[in-house]
């Protein structure tokens, strides 16, 4: 295999972050003189947005060269790697396409199954693989990786007192159970100066009014001095600083393909409260996290991102018991008091490396 095609998004959201991690790792290996297949790059949407990354002129020039080469020399006999949603992944630049996708629900539609069957399909979660296999679609599993280009532990004191700071992450939406988490945390810890909740939830797919309305509804119109909502952070360096500012990350989403913000936060040494379900189970365990078993499932429909009866994104998400969540918060506080650093969480950096991710992808293209 002398060359491969990469048809991936290069932007600041989750798919784009993983694509950029793969390409940066590949470029690093090329600079080191390793023999690798030549990549012909087809950026999804035709756009390259590296605004979230640290400036790297050599990498940008390499991306430009790979894109030009794709337009001039690609043939459909070159195998293609695609990282994208199932919706939009029937199209291919090659006769043989390997697809890596995230999936967050539990009931694949006929359209989604058809996409999976017409690609060599992989998911980031074993739970998703089981869901698709039970519906008749064969698929494989490729785990994601720690991005050490952008994320690291910062040795810095953020506060003058000993408050225990929790972080709540991910784009604001029903699927991630943000509303229920906010309501429960406020009821137990709201306006208590010993604790704080910092929320990086801004969803740029929603209007400012919709973002504000979500928060207003979750908190019943009340304001709490120890619950803070941050604006959208478009640079990884800024986001890494935010993750470092807390002691505990909350990951109670009802459905994830992996949970990148929670994963990176745990991997830089933050204690973690994690739903014991779906993609979280790929990396969270009872040693590095406080696991909360789901109480059941609930409909994913929210009238915004998930609509009943469509060709995509149908099914249910996991739910949790509020008392179980609060008990996990109390256990997290004890762990912080015993040791502010999650030593077991730090091990994730070595367990899930970017080199292993790239090798897994390239091996499936051979």
CB 340 within 8 A of CB 247: yes
Chain-wide mean pLDDT for the chain?
Answer: 97
Spell out a b/e string for 316-330, using b for 16 or more CB atoms within 10 Å of the CB, else e.
Answer: bbbbbeeebbbebbe
Mean pLDDT for the stretch of residues 67-74: 96
Q: Which of 77, 79, 101, 78 is nearest to 89 (CA)?
A: 101
pTM recorded for the entire structure: 0.97
- d(C-alpha 245, C-alpha 1), whole Å: 45
pLDDT greater than 70 at residue 267: yes
Q: How does residue 104 score in pLDDT terms, banded at 50, 70 and 90?
A: very high
Query: Fold for domain 164-351?
Result: Rossmann fold (3.40.50)
Percent of the chain past pLDDT 70, that is, above it, reads: 100
Quote the crossing angle between the two packed helices 178-189 and 208-218, to the nearest 10°: 50
Spell out a b/e string for 90-117, using b for 16 or more CB atoms within 10 Å of the CB, else e.
Answer: eebbbeebbbbbbbbbbebbeebbebbe
pLDDT greater than 80 at residue 69: yes
- d(C-alpha 302, C-alpha 175), whole Å: 8
Query: DSSP per residue over 203-233, as a string?
Result: -TTS-HHHHHHHHHHHTTT---TTEEEPPP-
CB 75 within 8 A of CB 2: no
CB 284 within 8 A of CB 276: yes
- d(C-alpha 43, C-alpha 7), whole Å: 6
Mean pLDDT for the stretch of residues 182-207: 97
Query: Fold for domain 3-145+353-365?
Result: Rossmann fold (3.40.50)
Q: Which of 359, 163, 192, 178 is nearest to 262 (CA)?
A: 178
Handedness of CA 257, 262, 263, 264 (dihedral sign): positive
Residue 191: left (phi > 0), alpha (psi -120 to 50), or beta? left
3-145+353-365 and 164-351: same fold?
yes
CB 52 within 8 A of CB 58: no
Quote the crossing angle between the two packed helices 236-244 and 260-267, to the nearest 10°: 60
Question: Tens digit of pLDDT for each residue in 23-40?
Answer: 999 999 999 999 999 999
pLDDT given for residue 366 in this prediction: 73
Alpha helices in the chain (DSSP H): 14-31, 57-73, 110-117, 126-134, 178-189, 208-218, 236-244, 260-267, 322-338, 343-346, 348-351, 354-365
CB 258 within 8 A of CB 277: no
pLDDT given for residue 2 in this prediction: 87
pLDDT given for residue 189 in this prediction: 98
pLDDT given for residue 336 in this prediction: 98
Domain ranges of the chain: 3-145+353-365, 164-351
Q: Which of 85, 103, 104, 147 is nearest to 253 (CA)?
A: 104
- d(C-alpha 219, C-alpha 309), whole Å: 31
pLDDT given for residue 1 in this prediction: 58
Give me the residues paired with residue 164 across strands.
Answer: 195
Q: How does residue 135 score in pLDDT terms, banded at 50, 70 and 90?
A: very high
Mean pLDDT for the stretch of residues 309-317: 96
Coil, strand or helix: which one is 335? helix
């Amino acid at each position: 295999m002398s060359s491969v095609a990469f048809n991936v998004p290069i932007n600041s959201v989750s798919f784009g972050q993983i694509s950029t991690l793969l390409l940066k790792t590949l470029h690093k290996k090329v600079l080191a003189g390793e023999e690798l297949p030549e990549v012909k790059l087809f950026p999804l949407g035709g756009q390259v947005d590296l605004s979230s990354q640290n400036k790297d002129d050599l990498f940008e020039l390499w991306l430009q060269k790979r894109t030009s080469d794709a337009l001039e020399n690609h043939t459909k006999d070159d195998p293609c790697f695609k990282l994208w949603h199932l919706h939009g992944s029937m199209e291919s630049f090659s006769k043989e396409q390997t697809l890596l996708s995230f999936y967050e629900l539990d009931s694949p539609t006929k359209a989604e199954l058809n996409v999976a069957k017409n690609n060599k399909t992989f998911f980031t979660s074993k739970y998703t693989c089981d869901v698709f296999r039970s519906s008749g679609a064969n698929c494989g599993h490729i785990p994601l990786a720690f991005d050490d280009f952008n994320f690291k532990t910062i040795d810095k004191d953020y506060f003058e007192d000993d408050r225990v700071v929790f972080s709540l992450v991910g784009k604001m939406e029903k699927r991630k159970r943000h509303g229920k988490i906010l309501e429960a945390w406020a009821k137990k810890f709201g306006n208590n100066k010993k604790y704080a909740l910092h929320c990086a939830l801004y969803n740029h797919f929603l209007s400012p009014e919709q973002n504000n309305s979500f928060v207003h509804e979750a908190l019943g119109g009340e304001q709490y001095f120890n619950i803070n909502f941050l604006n959208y952070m478009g640079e990884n360096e800024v986001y890494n600083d935010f993750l470092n500012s807390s002691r505990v990350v909350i990951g109670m989403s009802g459905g994830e393909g992996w949970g990148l913000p929670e994963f990176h936060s745990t991997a830089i040494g933050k204690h973690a409260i994690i739903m014991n379900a779906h993609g979280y189970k790929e990396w969270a365990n009872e040693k590095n996290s406080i696991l909360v078993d789901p109480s059941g499932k609930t409909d994913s429909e929210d009238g915004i991102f998930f609509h009943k009866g469509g060709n995509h994104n149908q099914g249910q998400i996991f739910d949790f018991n509020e008392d179980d969540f609060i008990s996990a918060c109390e256990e997290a506080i004890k762990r912080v008091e015993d040791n502010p650093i999650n030593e077991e969480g730090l091990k994730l950096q070595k367990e899930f490396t970017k080199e292993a991710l790239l090798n897994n992808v390239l091996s499936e293209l051979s």
